[in-house]
Amino acid sequence: MRQMLLFVLLVSAFPWIDGVERQGAQPRSPKAIVTRDFGVPGHKSAPRAPSPALSVTQVIEQFARRERTALRENRERAAAEMTRLRRVGGLQALWKQQLEQVSARMKADPSNPRLPKISDDLRTKLASFAVCQTTMISRISDFMVDTAQIRAGYTFIINGCRFGDKIGTVRLHAPASGIDFTLGTIEWHDDYIFLNVEAPVSGIQDQPSVLQVTTAAGATSDVFDVMVWAQRSMQKVAASPTSNVLNATCAETTDFDECVSLFKDPQFQIIDHSLGGIHWSRCCFNGVSGTDRYDLSLKNGWTLYSVAGFEDRSLTTCSESFGNDPGKVDQPTGYVIGRAATTIEVNWWVDANCSEAMYVFDVVVMGPLGVPFE
């Protein structure tokens, strides 16, 4: 009778004692076998609701929408500029019209400090055209940024002089790779040319290139330096012990600790996520915390685009009567979007008994279409 009373008192004071018996009396040293459902035997409570983070599909759709929007804006701005140049009769005529407008504003507002600078700039441009004796490129623009860059599929304008009224040819050449990009001519005039780089452009990185105009009469301009941007693609990557792209360093302070690639570890391929971690306390110690680290290192112009699809799947792995609180996982931190090399950190915590901290998330990278990231 005394032995029974003592057992009841012990269970009341230390509920994990009975919890251990219910799960079996296996020794603690061999770690629990993780199941293919990314858990441990004995799950009895439902996982927490997933974080509202974007999924990989949503990230890719968001990126595609941005690309479509940028391309549409490029074409709309190019069309508006073509209409304006046609209406006034060319680039020199446009600058003369703008100079007249600025001169009128200077008379009406002589204290405006910006107007004299604009006037001087327009006069310099017109003077350079007046003395232009050879075919010359003075400027290019894709109507989106001020720097001399060209993107596949985008319309761009070449400003210059003595291009002739008949259509000639334009060469866009990348000396390092030997590539000649395919260009489509939209409009050709003596002082401006509208073209576009025909898509797709695959298998190249962003690279310095040169632009050269040859007139119908055979005259050639000097080469003009530009940067050609490769088309972008996106991929989801995963860590593995042999990866030279994404490597996991897993904190090991519980009864079972694992940080895995869910694509390359056969035990976890049922889950369609890049990465996952699990930290499980079976019993008999105080709550602990830790930090898992994932080091990303990309090559060939690839960078981190998003850490997506994060889910805290922490739970209690035995009945509520014997288990303590579920584990907890914080959102990934520490990484820098747009970097080729960065570290993703995941902080987690588990309670004393039957407590599991478990998470999954995805790593999405962006880089040149058709170019490997490792």
What's the pLDDT score for residue 230? 87
Q: Which helix (H) or strand (E) holds 358?
A: strand 355-368
pTM for the full model? Answer: 0.73
pLDDT of residue 170: 97
So what's the pLDDT on residue 200? 77
- The structural domains of the chain, ordered by start, are 42-56+235-368 (no CATH), 133-230 (2.60.40.10)
Least confident of 42-46, 132-136, 176-180, 277-281: 42-46
**Separation of alpha carbons 30 and 171, rounded Å:** 68
| Cβ–Cβ under 8 Å, residues 267 and 329 | no
Among 164, 159, 289, which Cα is nearest to 224's? 159
283-299 pLDDT, tens per residue? 766 788 999 999 999 99
How far apart (Å, rounded) are the C-alpha atoms in residues 296 and 246?
5
